[in-house]
């Protein structure tokens, strides 16, 4: 399988703080890949580096065989790499349809065509009923869908989703899972930062784990959730052995 995205020793420091350090990872084309890690691990910073919002202090990013290290975000988007933001930032003065049309305009110069394309995208993410509403009137769930729709409207080949499921209730999460799977089925590679493990287990074929700015594990969802390093990163030092101990104790009680 070919990789659509590759990083080599990617690092960024803010003063003395190494927010992302020596990250070499890759994303297979047409896959759903997850990036997980405890709060403050540097996931969103890494997304910033991948999408051009931050310039790395060292290392490189390769997208579709182009070296895109330090390239500006709008150029990345034109190459086919779109991202969403953790905190949804809709164009508040505009309707949902107009919001999505902004993304659609990347490939549609004509206003009418862009608005029509927006309608088609809205259908894919389940926003059809909200098209005429002001974007500022949307609920958190609606805003997340709008983030996704706008990015999708730029017709990306790689979509970076920054916690599109955070803040949604279980029902809304269940509603979004098939949407994301559908996007991948249409040939768009998805790299998602996610805390909702149910979704990660359900969607991702490969998982990268970031902690303290460094990659500590990667593999299938099943592999990484059993990895002692990952358990310690989430639950604290020594927890992996204690959990293993507890497991043995339970077995011996039976």
Partner 1 sequence: MKLQHTVIAVVAVLGAFALAPVVISSGFLLSLLIMVLLTTLMAQAWNILGGFGGQLSFGHAAFFGTGAYAMAILQVHAGLNAWLALVLALAASAILGAVIGGLAFRYGLRGSYFSLVTLAIAELLRILANAVPFTGAGVGIQLPLHASLSSLQFADKTGYLYFLLAFVAIGFALSLWLRHSRFGAYLLATRDSESSAQALGINVQRIKLLATAISAFLMGVAGVFYVQYFQYIDPGIAYGTAFSVQALVAAVIGGTATVFGPLLGALALQILGELTRNLMGGAPGVSLVIYGALLVLMVMFFPRGVAGVLKKR
Q: Which two tokens stand for residue 156?
A: 């990306």
Q: Which range, of 70-78, 126-134, 171-179, 214-222, touches partner 1 by CB under 8 A?
A: 70-78
Q: d(Cα 83, Cα 62) in Å, to the nearest integer?
A: 16
Q: Nearest approach, Cβ of 156 to partner 1 (angstroms)?
A: 10
# of chain residues touching partner 1 (CB under 8 A): 32
Alpha-carbon span 13 to 20, nearest angstrom: 7
Return the beta strands (E) in 108-184 as ranges.
158-162
Task: Catalytic residue, from 163, 194, 232, 250: name it.
Answer: 163
Please list every residue from 48 through 67 that binds partner 1, using CB under 8 A: 51, 53
Q: Does 102 interact with partner 1 (rule: CB under 8 A)?
A: yes
Task: Pick out residues in 111-130 that bind partner 1 (CB under 8 A).
Answer: 111, 114
CB burial of 103-132 (b: ≥16 within 10 Å; e: otherwise) equals: bbbbebeeeeebbebbeebbebbbbeebbe
163 is catalytic: yes
Question: Is 131 one of the binding residues for partner 1 (CB under 8 A)?
Answer: no
What's the min distance (Å) between Cβ of 225 and partner 1? 31
By CB atoms closer than 10 A (0-12, 13-18, 19+), residue 193 is buried
Where along the sequence are the contacts to partner 1 (CB under 8 A)? 51, 53, 72-74, 77-78, 82-85, 89-94, 98, 101-103, 105-106, 108-111, 114, 150-151, 153-154
């Amino acid at each position: 399988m070919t990789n659509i995205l590759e990083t080599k020793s990617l690092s960024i420091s803010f003063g003395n703080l190494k927010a992302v350090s020596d990250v070499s990872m890759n994303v297979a084309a047409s896959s759903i890949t997850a990036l997980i890690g405890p709060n403050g691990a540097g996931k969103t910073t890494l997304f910033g580096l991948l999408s051009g919002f931050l310039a790395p202090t060292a290392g490189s990013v390769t997208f579709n065989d182009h070296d895109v290290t330090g390239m500006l975000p709008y150029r990345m988007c034109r190459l086919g790499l779109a991202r969403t933001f953790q905190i949804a930032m809709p164009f508040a003065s505009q309707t949902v349809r107009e919001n999505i049309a902004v993304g659609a305009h990347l490939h549609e110069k004509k206003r009418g065509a862009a608005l029509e394309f927006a309608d088609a995208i809205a259908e894919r993410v389940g926003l059809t009923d909200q098209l005429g509403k002001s974007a500022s009137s949307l609920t958190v769930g609606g805003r997340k869908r709008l983030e996704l729709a706008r990015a999708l409207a730029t017709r990306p080949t790689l979509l970076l989703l920054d916690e599109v499921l955070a803040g949604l209730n279980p029902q809304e999460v269940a509603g979004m899972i098939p949407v994301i799977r559908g996007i991948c089925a249409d040939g768009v590679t998805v790299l998602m930062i996610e805390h909702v493990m149910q979704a990660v287990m359900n969607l991702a074929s490969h998982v990268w784990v970031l902690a303290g700015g460094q990659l500590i594990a990667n593999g299938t969802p099943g592999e990484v959730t059993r990895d002692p390093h990952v358990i310690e990163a989430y639950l604290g030092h020594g927890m992996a052995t204690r959990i293993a101990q507890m497991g043995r104790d339970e077995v011996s009680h039976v």
